[in-house]
Amino acid sequence: MSTLGLIVFWFSLAIIAYTYIGYGALLAWLARRRARPVHSADIEPSVTVLVAAYNEAECIGAKIENTLALDYPADRLELLVVTDGSDDATSEIVGGYAARYANVRLAHRPERRGKAHALARAFPLANGEILLFSDANSLFAADILRHMVRHFADPEVGGVGGAKRMIGLEGVPGQGESLYWRYESFLKACDSALSSVMGVPGEVWAARRVAYRPVEADTILEDFVASLRLVEDGWRVVFEPRAIAYEAASPSLRAEWERRVRNSAGGWQAFFRLPGMLRHRNPWVTFQYLSHRMLRWMVTPSLFVLLLLSNLCLAGRSFYAATLLAQALFYLLAGLGWLLARRGQQIRWLLAPFYIIMLNAAALVGAWRFLRGRQGAVWQKVR
């Protein structure tokens, strides 16, 4: 029993350390040693901005105005807004703009079947050589298209992911999201330099129209699966940090929790829908996919539990008594951060332990929901 406990303890600790520290360090080293350049140029292909909007009357006008104001030729840019299922004023607002601007178009059906279905339905209606996907509540930096489309001068590039910036970071959810996205941006830059990014933010990513394949209607993480299917098909998907989209931080801890649970369930679903990522012709792609995504979503969360349980079995030895105390202190700090966050107080140096535990707990719940078939593709807003 002691030997088994030792094996479980050190295996769990090694994989957790690799997931959060080792992979980033190794990836950064590989990105410097084996970087693949992207052959970019200042080009102006036609672009369709595709937005799936459900009951977004509060922000859809600002989204349209923001898109029309982009630094890009108006005759090379169109905005296609899909408002399926909306029963507020979203469709009417978009229709009003469409009546005034030739490059604004509305697609609407009364039934709601989720974002993946809406985008698949709108795809044949898009005219652009490049499809830029975004959300109704995200606003673009004016030069976003200039930065993104130049990478499509490289014939190997099938997609480009942008960078997400959070607005309203004074609360704990915003601080946590900012911490997460800073780390993610670092990994995306390294992933992109080595081969391809392992997923894109749904708020800001572009695909070559001839390369894009709409995903199944019940897909939970449409942007993740669609972008990695490009990689499966042999295209390269790169990261452009200057292509910035701004979005408000999650309004509450509950909203952030539900989003993370949904992402985890979507990661499990994606594992079964992206078999080509496990046997990709470029072995670096498979290495990145397993290390960056699958370990974090499917393996590491349960290892936190096994690390604690195995440590309890070994606590009779002085070294392992100390590691158990360190674990207990870490969980205590995370719990204290949660209590303060619940009260709306600043948690500052407690943010990292709190957010790490929250992400892994959400991953376990997301896995349970997926395995029980309880996570639907239709996103429900949480305030």
Average pLDDT over residues 95-100: 97
In this predicted structure, what is the pLDDT of residue 339? Answer: 86
Chain segment 47-81, per-residue pLDDT in tens: 999 999 999 999 999 999 999 999 999 999 999 99
Answer yes or no: is pLDDT of 188 > 60.
yes
The residues spanned by each domain of the chain are 47-252
Q: Please list the alpha-helical segments (H only) found in 195-235.
A: 222-232
d(CA 334, CA 234) in angstroms, rounded, equals 42
The Cα-based distances of 166 to 139, 142, 244, 262, 337 in angstroms read 11, 17, 10, 19, 21
Q: How confident is the model at residue 181 (pLDDT cuts 50, 70, 90)?
A: confident
Judge if pTM exceeds 0.75.
yes
In this predicted structure, what is the pLDDT of residue 379? Answer: 62
Residue-wise burial string across 86-95, b where 16 or more C-beta atoms lie within 10 A, e elsewhere: beebbbebbb
In this predicted structure, what is the pLDDT of residue 380? Answer: 64
d(CA 148, CA 168) in angstroms, rounded, equals 26
Pairing relation of β-strands 205-208 and 130-135?
antiparallel
d(CA 248, CA 245) in angstroms, rounded, equals 10
Chain segment 117-148, per-residue pLDDT in tens: 999 999 999 999 999 999 999 999 999 999 99
> What sign results for the dihedral spanned by CA atoms 59, 60, 65, 68?
positive
The Cα-based distances of 340 to 7, 145, 201, 352 in angstroms read 36, 41, 30, 14
Backbone angles phi, psi at 208, to 5 degrees: -70, 130
Q: What is the CATH superfamily name and number for domain 47-252?
A: Spore Coat Polysaccharide Biosynthesis Protein SpsA; Chain A (3.90.550.10)
Q: How confident is the model at residue 166 (pLDDT cuts 50, 70, 90)?
A: confident
Backbone angles phi, psi at 314, to 5 degrees: -100, 5
Average pLDDT over residues 333-343: 85
d(CA 203, CA 138) in angstroms, rounded, equals 6
